[in-house]
Structure 1
Amino acid sequence: MAPLDIRAILRDEGIGRRLRGVMAVAFLALILAGGAAAWMTGRSQQHIRALSHTYEVENAILDARQLLERGETTRRGYLLAPGQRDFLVIYRNSARALPPALKRIRRLTSDNPVQVASYATLLDQVRKLVTMREESIGRIAAGDVAGARAAFDVEHSALPMASIRTTLDHMAQEERRLLASRERDVVNSERMFYVVLVVAGILLAVAVIASLLTVLGYTRDLARSHDALRALNAGLEDRVTERTADLTRANEEIQRFAYIVSHDLRSPLVNVMGFTAELESATGQLSQLVDRVEADAPQLLTDDARFAAREDLPEAIGFIRTSTQKMDRLINAILQLSRQGRRALAPEPLDIAAMVAQIRETLAHRLADADATLEVEGTLPEIVSDRFSIDQILSNLIENAVKYLRPGVPGRIVVRGHREGARAVFEIADNGRGIDPRDHARVFDLFRRSGAQDRPGEGIGLATVRALVFRLGGLIDLSSTLGEGATFRLSLPMTYASQESGQ
């Protein structure tokens, strides 16, 4: 039986094409969901502000109405009992508070022509009422209580307060009409948001199903490969060697594929970054042109053009630059992991305590700034392994511990270790802010982070650590409680044995 060619299987089944199609659909769904979320969030905020404005206007109308009613009530009380000065005090307080309340109504309703007209009517009515009130109070102060009461009777027959109440009711009804309209807008926006999310969810579901079907097809191919391998004669060592070589080449091809894809991604990214710089330069020239037009011929310049040149374009370019920089860091991370997988390991005797001391010297400034200490507890076992990999593992874990210490709490990072049979166990413990138990597994995934994202990083360090530990034949796990620190536990062979040695 001829050995199976993995590349031929991929080519015949079209797995690569299906995966690209699935990724395109998933990417489109994510873009749709993100754009819809951003747009609908903006619309919802606008509607909420409008609703809040309506409630504020209603409160302002109610406050003015209460002041007018209180002033009318206390004036009547003062007419009936001129000797009760408390009525006059309350009346004066209401009169002083009334102009600010009316100005507040005018400020809040200045964008509504209907309310502006009603406010003009209300202001005229209030001025007449205030004149009548002051005349009544003045007569009482002059001792003409009977004249004041007679004037009040004449005034009452004209129903000035009834007219004011009618105007205020009309304004309140207008706000209630706006409130109902704006509430409908909010409901419609929410419905549209859910519709967009459902569409995006359907696209994602289609992408997931297609991915599952692709994986199942690939799994069937693997199953057939395993069946073919089991059918081979176990004594034919040359066939086993041949297939092992095929698998090695396939693994190397996958690593090369990741490396090539990362470079292919970088090429358009570099173009985007270059064109972004050109756009930024062009935006500066456009802004200068807008300044010249504004100075020489302002009538030719619209507000939209001015806003686009000075705010919209610079803001959009800033967003593009931030996104391309983040993508560049992610591509670098993929390249770094790819290079780690291709690097040849060189085992040698390692003094772990000396390596920790060297890391302490490197991080001395950061440890001092964080008011933290790095200590070695007991005697650390010496192992035979790859120096560069072990240094990367310890450096990443210790730097993470320093990065996530709790502010205001003296930091303490401890490295300890012991031997368990043919393996060495190392622990890196800290008293930092800890990791949620639900995130213990996923913090080792590439680009995945836990807790508040208030520290710089892309979620690469722990993924690199795990890849290096596994390549050295080791294991890594984590124990942590929020607010009480974290402990990373490494289990490594005392002596690394490469696959080529046959051990």
Structure 2
Amino acid sequence: MPSFFQVDTRRFNQLALAGILAGFVLLLAAFGTVVSVFVNNHASADRVRHTYDVVAELSQLETQLERAENGRRGYLIAPSPYRFEVYAENARLVPQTLEGVSELVSDNRTQVARLRELRQLIILQMADIHRSMALARGGRTNEAVQTLRAAHDANIIRRIREVTGAMRQEEYALLQQRSAAERDTLSRLQFVLGVTGILLLLVAVAAFLLVRRYTLDLAATRDRLNLLNTDLEAAVTERTADLRRANDEIQRFAYIVSHDLRSPLVNILGFTSELESTNKSLGKLIERAEKDAPQIITEDVRNAREDLPEAIGFIRSSTQKMDRLINAILRLSREGRRTLSPEPLEMEAVIKEIAASLEHRVNEVGAEIRIERPIPNMVSDRVAIEQIFSNVIENAVKYLDPARPGRVAVRGRKDGANVIYEIADNGRGIADKDRERVFDLFRRAGTQDQPGEGIGLAHVRALAFRLGGFIDVQSELGKGSTFRLNLPATYVEQGGAA
């Protein structure tokens, strides 16, 4: 290789940059030329189309005049509704077509002058036709025939054809000029593209010679990258395994903590019951003392007798709520550790079973659950799918608007390798600020007039993620909500087969 190409990295970068810039400039020049030619061709095509439009309109005008004339002649020979209709229809179309020609040739002075003459001739011709038809329809056929003969002697039609022919020839002459200009433009484009191609080829050869000396280094670098990628994949696999172990550990921790919390909670509930019994006995003792020795009953004792039941009730309600939350955490922990077992699911049957389980509640509130067929089937874990649909449909029924009949619709469709199910209702709806909060654990939105701990939708989203999909909601306050569930049509466990 010549010594010119044995350059250091800095020199190489400068030469490569110069070559790229030169090629870029050449490409810009070629692009500008192509754009210019394209614009010119587009304009030429418009002008050619304009020429053909003018010719077509002139031919249409001639045809309509001839049909009107033929309708008149036929009607004078043998009057009939059909011949009169031919005359009337074409007599109506002639002015419209003439206006169309006028618009098309308005930019050509020569054509505008011819059009003025053509318009006068057509006015004379149509007036003659109208006059003879009026005489014929009035029973004065002989006079109408005389009018026709006089028109034939004047031969206005022949003059009209001469004018339209001259206009047509003018358009063809313009077409030839435009075609010649277009050919010149294409020739210039071919020349420019040829020169540009040669220059680009030279730039490419120079760049190839400059880059060739780095090929072996790039190949070696690629091999090193492949090795690093292999190590990275192993690291990702190991990290994924660590994350799974950490997740399992969190599940076990949640289970252990929730399980261990139940013991002191049971003790608190037990002591609360004993406190209630003691409070009853203490209340009876205070009542007896008030009768027998009221002087020993102080104001503090009376206040304690009134406040103690309320405090005990608060302790009981709080512990009961904590018990429900602990049960929910335990349930979520068990579900998170449960092994998923995919199987073919006939979704219409699954949804019908869920609707049947809610039938009493649905009838109670005067609502309706409707399945919009067809519902696509899927291969997934039955228990998880039933829990997802049960929670969402039950929530839809629970939060219907009492001011109108409740409607819950379940529908679905295939979307490539996924299936999308929608549960839509006309209930209370969800405010914009609460749309994501409803999926948070122990978070609820809107008026809290229904029982619940804010666990259901969090559990639904966790199950959807675990099945390889997601769930979201579209809602408008006061109008209803639509929960959209997007899941793989066939569940494939990560690292395994379906």
Q: For structure 1, which segment, 261-270 or 474-483, has the greater mean C-alpha deviation from structure 2 after superposition? A: 261-270
2:479 to 480, 484, 491: 484
Structure with the larger RCO, 1 or 2 (CA within 8 Å, 6+ apart):
1
2:457 to 457, 462, 477: 462
Match of 2:275 in 1: 279
Q: How many percent of aligned residue pairs carry the same amino acid?
A: 64
Q: List per-residue Cα deviations over 1:41-60 (Å, max 9, x = no partner).
A: xxxxxxxxxxxxxxxxxxxx
Match of 1:425 in 2: 420
Q: For structure 1, which segment, 238-247 or 286-295, has the greater mean C-alpha deviation from structure 2 after superposition? A: 238-247
Shift of 1:299: 2.1
231 and 305 in structure 1: CA distance in 2 versus 1, 3 angstrom threshold: farther
2:314 to 312, 319, 322: 319
- Report the TM-score, using the length of structure 2 for normalisation: 0.52
1:302 to 298, 304, 307: 298
281 and 501 in structure 1: CA distance in 2 versus 1, 3 angstrom threshold: same
308 and 235 in structure 1: CA distance in 2 versus 1, 3 angstrom threshold: closer
Shift of 1:236: 8.7
Shift of 1:290: 0.7
Q: List per-residue Cα deviations over 1:240-268 (Å, max 9, x = no partner).
A: 65554433322211111111111222222
Shift of 1:274: 1.6
Residue 495 of structure 2 aligns to a residue whose secondary structure is helix
The structure whose Rg is larger is 2
Paired amino acid for 2:459: T
Q: List per-residue Cα deviations over 1:440-488 (Å, max 9, x = no partner).
A: 1111000111111111111011000000000000111100111101000
Paired amino acid for 1:273: L
Match of 1:288 in 2: 284
307 and 235 in structure 1: CA distance in 2 versus 1, 3 angstrom threshold: closer
Residue 270 of structure 1 aligns to a residue whose secondary structure is helix
**CA–CA distance in structure 2, aligned partners of residues 450 and 427 of structure 1:** 21
**CA–CA distance in structure 1, aligned partners of residues 446 and 240 of structure 2:** 43
Q: List per-residue Cα deviations over 1:18-49 (Å, max 9, x = no partner).
A: xxxxxxxxxxxxxxxxxxxxxxxxxxxxxxxx
Q: How does 1:17-36 map to 2 (within 5 A)?
A: none
**CA–CA distance in structure 1, aligned partners of residues 281 and 461 of structure 2:** 49
Shift of 1:346: 0.4
Paired amino acid for 1:327: M
Residue 267 of structure 1 aligns to a residue whose secondary structure is helix
2:336 to 341, 349, 371: 341
Match of 1:260 in 2: 256
1:370 to 365, 369, 373: 365
**CA–CA distance in structure 2, aligned partners of residues 250 and 478 of structure 1:** 30
Gaps of 5+ in 1: 1-229
Residue 280 of structure 1 aligns to a residue whose secondary structure is helix
**CA–CA distance in structure 1, aligned partners of residues 234 and 433 of structure 2:** 47
Residue 389 of structure 1 aligns to a residue whose secondary structure is helix
**CA–CA distance in structure 2, aligned partners of residues 464 and 394 of structure 1:** 11
Residue 500 of structure 1 aligns to a residue whose secondary structure is coil
Q: List per-residue Cα deviations over 1:389-415 (Å, max 9, x = no partner).
A: 000000000000010011131101000
Shift of 1:502: 6.2
Paired amino acid for 1:283: N
Residue 409 of structure 1 aligns to a residue whose secondary structure is coil
488 and 238 in structure 1: CA distance in 2 versus 1, 3 angstrom threshold: closer
**CA–CA distance in structure 1, aligned partners of residues 310 and 330 of structure 2:** 30
Match of 1:69 in 2: none
Match of 1:350 in 2: 345
481 and 240 in structure 1: CA distance in 2 versus 1, 3 angstrom threshold: closer
Shift of 1:237: 7.4
Q: How does 1:394-405 map to 2 (within 5 A)?
A: 394-405=389-400
237 and 401 in structure 1: CA distance in 2 versus 1, 3 angstrom threshold: closer
Residue 489 of structure 1 aligns to a residue whose secondary structure is strand
Paired amino acid for 2:281: Q
Q: For structure 1, which segment, 349-358 or 380-389, has the greater mean C-alpha deviation from structure 2 after superposition? A: 349-358
Q: List per-residue Cα deviations over 1:159-210 (Å, max 9, x = no partner).
A: xxxxxxxxxxxxxxxxxxxxxxxxxxxxxxxxxxxxxxxxxxxxxxxxxxxx
Shift of 1:233: 7.4
Across the aligned residues of Structure 1 and Structure 2, the Cα RMSD in angstroms comes to: 2.1
Paired amino acid for 2:308: L
Shift of 1:273: 1.4
- Report the TM-score, using the length of structure 1 for normalisation: 0.52
Q: How does 1:118-133 map to 2 (within 5 A)?
A: none
Residue 349 of structure 1 aligns to a residue whose secondary structure is strand
**CA–CA distance in structure 2, aligned partners of residues 244 and 484 of structure 1:** 43
**CA–CA distance in structure 1, aligned partners of residues 427 and 488 of structure 2:** 29
Q: List per-residue Cα deviations over 1:332-365 (Å, max 9, x = no partner).
A: 1111111111000000001111111111111111
Paired amino acid for 2:357: T
Gaps of 5+ in 2: 1-225
Shift of 1:269: 1.7
Match of 1:435 in 2: 430
Q: How does 1:5-16 map to 2 (within 5 A)?
A: none
**CA–CA distance in structure 2, aligned partners of residues 451 and 344 of structure 1:** 35
Q: List per-residue Cα deviations over 1:116-139 (Å, max 9, x = no partner).
A: xxxxxxxxxxxxxxxxxxxxxxxx
**CA–CA distance in structure 2, aligned partners of residues 317 and 468 of structure 1:** 38
Match of 1:52 in 2: none
**CA–CA distance in structure 2, aligned partners of residues 448 and 398 of structure 1:** 18
**CA–CA distance in structure 1, aligned partners of residues 472 and 311 of structure 2:** 43
